[in-house]
Amino acid sequence: MPLPIPGPPRGPLAPGCPAGRPRWIARLLAVAVAALLSLPLARAIQPPVPSPPTSYALAWAAPFNRPAHYPLERRPDPAVYRPHGEWFGRLILPGAEEMAAEAGDWVWLEVEQAPARRQALIGRRLRLAWEDDPGLLALVDKVSTPVRLGAEARLAARQGNVVPTRLDGRDSVGPLQSLAGAHPHDDITVRLEQVRMEVREGEPRLRIGRPPLQSTGRWVGLVRLLSRDPSNPERFRVQHYDRQKRGFTGPIETVRLPRQPPDRFGRRLFSPDGLLGAPVGRDGWYLYGAPDAEGTFTAQALEPRRLTRLDPDRVLRGTAAGLHHISRINWSDSQTRRGRYSRVALVPDAAPSPWQTGQRALLIHSFGGIGGPAGEPISGFTVTGHFAFGVARLVDDPFTGEPRFDLRYHQIYANNPNGIVAGRQDWSAYTGNLQRGWLGTRPISDVLVRTDPRLLEELGVQAEVLMARYRSGDGGGVSLVTPSISCVQDSSQSLWIAIDQLRRRRRELDGGDLPRLASLARALESLLTPFGRVREDWRLNADLVGTPAEGPAEGPERFRADQRLRDVLLSWRSMLPRRAHDAMARVFLRHGDPLWIVRTNQLPGADPSLAPLAPTLLLGRLPLIGVPLARLMDALFTPLTPQSMSLSLLLLGGYAALAVPLGRRSGFLPLPRPSLRPLVLVRQAPILLITPALVEEALFRAALLPHPLEGTGAWENTAWGALSLGLFVAYHPLAGRLWYPQGRRLFADARFLVLTTLLGLVCVIAYLATGSIWPPVLIHWLVVLIWLEALGGRGRLGQGMGTRG
């Protein structure tokens, strides 16, 4: 950024500049400018500073974070451990010579688990490719791209982020290869679904009908922690669950829960301290992992059984109670304490049927920041956090036979130091992963929404497109966060495209509840496009993955990711994870969908150097600023629609019908005179639009009143409206006494205050009914303009000029 050049110093006799001072100031400025200009040169001659290691590289140094630590020939007791999926294995990126021999998007899979009749394949390396489905292959082709790591990727690597260097220079990288090559080493393990085995040229191959699910630990067991080995604090005596006796009465063994090495910021993402006796572990723990070379079962991921059981800690009935919980309680200080967890069921007024095994739910995920002495820095008084969609399914637990939620995340995740890779991930690969999971270091909210399965299915497809694009960086190899491109912006994009695709195929959809789905789609679209207009890159990307609405059309050949200010504004409600998380949960609850909220805070909570920080809205860490600012932004960016304009005119007419007779009977309003001056109106109208109309409505309505998006109930809105009205009326006499003396007499006039009360009431109704600042501004502006210029208002203000009191 160029430095400003100081102008010539003022002369010794210049007014306000004592003799001798200008020369001293000029010298000081010259020295400061020279120092600033020399900084780049000083940096240039310094020896290069080595790039900071990634947290992934630091974790890789520990042997238990490497695949070789878990020999395939070592197997745990099958009576107490189960395979973590029917097909499970490690992805291996093919070499250049192998790709030259057979093109296409395929990778190797080292089979670690296989169905009972395919056990002979365990330990073999099989070719993994896509099922021969035209629609699936068309999407694979659209997200396949050459990868060339450029300056942006090199900068990301220098900043300590994991960059897919092994993909650099490849000409056609598809979703499978971008997943297998995301890490420097072949260590990504996955579960496979919709698998078909074929034999070609005498060799078995696997084909899949949907993308792999990132998953960790090829074996899983359910245990209760009994004690900790004092001589080796990573080893625990555990007792397994016995399904026959319905309790932890099974075999006892010693397992290892390895303490992770510090990451690049000096924090351990997992430590076994505090696990023994933790309240969240009272129902046991799922251990995901495998035996090491010595046969000791070593956990690679943990999941508290209590979190996903179908028995909530609280049930809140009624839409109003649920909306209050989402807006005021879920992320409150009392709910965001280290080691605390909760499971809350929100039941809307529609009283839906109970959860049933096999049902699927939309997952809305968000996490916050890491506070405390060892926490992360906060930028701009805002804790941004993270956002993702996903899907939860109520399944029968194979260990207990009880229903539990199986959580899977659609992680549209930028390049990062930990090696979290964009893609579908289950709990063991994401939240509970010991190497890179956030269970022990961040506050997390997972909202499960039982909604239309057609929306879930289409959202999953569109999220896969975005996740594949993030892994390849649309050819650049990296995806970095900007105001218009981020986890929350692009998760929102995937939801909008899913809605758009369902709309295009509406004639193909079956079911009598299509009107309900259409109503939900309109509510979500209104949230995603606050100005009623979608971002151009979202619309073009939707054309690329789908069929244009009106017959054949020439669509774009490449995906787009625009970063103009215009795009940020068009999707501004999708800029911050907290806003999107809460707003979307409220939309579904209002629509009559039941919600199930799982909240955790740095479990088990034994590290006093950490503290959970709830994600915030803009400037949310500033007391008395964050909430009013968020409300003001909602009000300012909610457009004036034809419906709200009609309501404004109706309320304005109602105000006139009451105020004019009252004013005339009291003698406050004279009969209108024909001496109205158009030029004065033209000159005064813009000034009065800004102040008092816009300024006072922003202060007394937009920043103070709960926005309709917050979902507050009628009684709470009435209380806030009364406060707004009282402050609005009291403000005028106070202004007359303190800073607006010409209005002192007028603002103390009871007749004026009655009409002001009526105006404030009309503006409160207009705002709460529309959620936009512009209807009350319009009403306020026209009332003041007409009163001042046509009904003698300026004369009454003039009468107070000489009154000082």
Please give, one letter per residue, the 3-state secondary structure of 280-321. Answer: HHCCCEEEEEEECCCCCEEEEEEEEHHHHECCCCEEEECHHH
Q: Which helix (H) or strand (E) holds 498?
A: helix 487-504
| CA 54/CA 419 separation, integer angstroms | 8
State whether 683 and 598 are in the same domain.
Answer: no
On the CB side of 793, how many CA atoms lie within 13 Å of its CA?
Answer: 15
Choosing from 282, 302, 322, the residue where a domain stops is: 302
Question: What are the tens digits of pLDDT across the range 342-360?
Answer: 999 999 998 788 999 999 9
Q: Please choose, from the candidates 805, 516, 779, the residue with its C-alpha nearest in 3D space to the C-alpha of residue 649.
A: 779
Question: What are the tens digits of pLDDT across the range 26-67?
Answer: 455 444 444 433 443 343 344 445 667 999 999 999 999 999
Q: Do residues 780 and 699 touch, judged by C-beta distance below 8 A?
A: no
Q: Do residues 303 and 428 touch, judged by C-beta distance below 8 A?
A: yes
Domain membership flag for residue 31: no
Coil, helix or strand at residue 183:
coil
Domain membership flag for residue 625: no
Domain membership flag for residue 392: yes
For residue 512, pLDDT beyond 80: no
| CA 376/CA 555 separation, integer angstroms | 44
Mean of pLDDT over the chain: 91
Q: What pLDDT is attached to residue 769?
A: 96
State whether 397 and 513 are in the same domain.
Answer: yes
State whether 229 and 267 are in the same domain.
Answer: yes
For residue 233, pLDDT beyond 80: yes
Beta bridge partners of 288: 220, 301
State whether 323 and 461 are in the same domain.
Answer: yes
Interhelix angle 487-504/514-528, rounded to 10 degrees, is: 140
Domain membership flag for residue 20: no
Domains identified in the chain, total number: 4
Question: What are the tens digits of pLDDT across the range 66-104?
Answer: 999 999 999 999 999 999 999 999 999 999 999 999 999
CA 329 from centroid of its chain's CA atoms: 18
Three-class secondary structure assignment of 108-129: EEEEEECCHHHHHHCCCEEEEE
End-to-end CA distance of the chain: 55
For residue 538, pLDDT beyond 90: yes
Q: What pLDDT is attached to residue 29?
A: 45
Other beta carbons within 10 angstroms of residue 277's beta carbon come to: 11
Phi/psi class of residue 661: alpha, beta or left (left: φ > 0; alpha: ψ in -120 to 50)? Answer: alpha
State whether 453 and 589 are in the same domain.
Answer: yes
Domain membership flag for residue 45: no
Question: What are the tens digits of pLDDT across the range 100-136?
Answer: 999 999 999 999 999 999 999 999 999 999 999 999 9
What is the pTM assigned to this prediction? 0.89
Domain membership flag for residue 774: yes
State whether 644 and 588 are in the same domain.
Answer: no
Tell me the mean pLDDT in the region 214-230. Answer: 98
Question: What are the tens digits of pLDDT across the range 745-762?
Answer: 999 999 999 999 999 999
Q: What pLDDT is attached to residue 351?
A: 76
Coil, helix or strand at residue 344:
strand
Burial class of residue 104, CB neighbours in 10 A (0-12, 13-18, 19+): middle
The share of the chain scoring above pLDDT 90, in percent, equals: 82
Of the two residues 211 and 679, the one the predictor is more confident about is 211
Q: What pLDDT is attached to residue 50?
A: 61
Q: What pLDDT is attached to residue 475?
A: 97
Coil, helix or strand at residue 756:
helix
Burial class of residue 547, CB neighbours in 10 A (0-12, 13-18, 19+): middle
Tell me the mean pLDDT in the region 426-440. Answer: 99
- Give, in order, the Cα–Cα distances in Å from 385 to each of 193, 322, 323, 327, 389: 31, 23, 22, 17, 14
Domain membership flag for residue 359: yes
pLDDT confidence tier of residue 804, bands split at 50, 70 and 90: very low
Highest mean pLDDT among 10-19, 668-677, 713-722: 713-722
| CA 88/CA 288 separation, integer angstroms | 13
- For every residue of 550-602, DSSP letters joined together read SS-----SS------HHHHHHTGGGSSHHHHHHHHHHHHHHTT--EEEEEEES
State whether 762 and 781 are in the same domain.
Answer: yes
Q: What pLDDT is attached to residue 16?
A: 37
State whether 182 and 318 are in the same domain.
Answer: no
Question: Residue for token digits 């299509």?
Answer: 514
| CA 179/CA 421 separation, integer angstroms | 8
Domain of 99, in residue numbers: 55-214
| CA 43/CA 363 separation, integer angstroms | 48
Tell me the mean pLDDT in the region 506-527. Answer: 87
Contacts of 770 by beta carbon, 8 Å cutoff, 6+ apart: 638, 641, 643, 644, 647, 708
Contacts of 215 by beta carbon, 8 Å cutoff, 6+ apart: 84, 85, 88, 189, 190, 191, 425, 426, 428, 429
State whether 274 and 324 are in the same domain.
Answer: no
Torsion of the alpha carbons at 80, 86, 87 and 88, rounded to the nearest 10: -30
Contacts of 351 by beta carbon, 8 Å cutoff, 6+ apart: none
**The one-letter amino acid at 535:** R
Q: What are phi and psi of 12, to 5 degrees?
A: -65, -20
| CA 216/CA 428 separation, integer angstroms | 5
Burial class of residue 292, CB neighbours in 10 A (0-12, 13-18, 19+): middle
Q: Please choose, from the candidates 59, 47, 49, the residue with its C-alpha nearest in 3D space to the C-alpha of residue 265.
A: 59
pLDDT confidence tier of residue 673, bands split at 50, 70 and 90: low
Q: Do residues 252 and 237 touch, judged by C-beta distance below 8 A?
A: yes
The share of the chain scoring above pLDDT 70, in percent, equals: 91
State whether 295 and 315 are in the same domain.
Answer: no
Choosing from 257, 274, 302, the residue where a domain stops is: 302
Choosing from 557, 590, 617, the residue where a domain stops is: 617
Q: Do residues 480 and 156 touch, judged by C-beta distance below 8 A?
A: yes
- Strands (E) across 581-663 are located at 595-601, 611-613
Domain membership flag for residue 19: no
| CA 496/CA 505 separation, integer angstroms | 14
Beta bridge partners of 459: none
| CA 64/CA 43 separation, integer angstroms | 40
pLDDT confidence tier of residue 13, bands split at 50, 70 and 90: very low
State whether 370 and 426 are in the same domain.
Answer: yes
State whether 158 and 100 are in the same domain.
Answer: yes
| CA 575/CA 177 separation, integer angstroms | 30
pLDDT confidence tier of residue 513, bands split at 50, 70 and 90: confident
Q: What pLDDT is attached to residue 195?
A: 98
Question: What are the tens digits of pLDDT across the range 264-299?
Answer: 999 999 999 999 999 999 999 999 999 999 999 999
| CA 319/CA 722 separation, integer angstroms | 23
Beta bridge partners of 424: 410
Question: What are the tens digits of pLDDT across the range 554-610?
Answer: 445 789 999 999 999 999 999 999 999 999 999 999 999 999 999 999 999 999 999
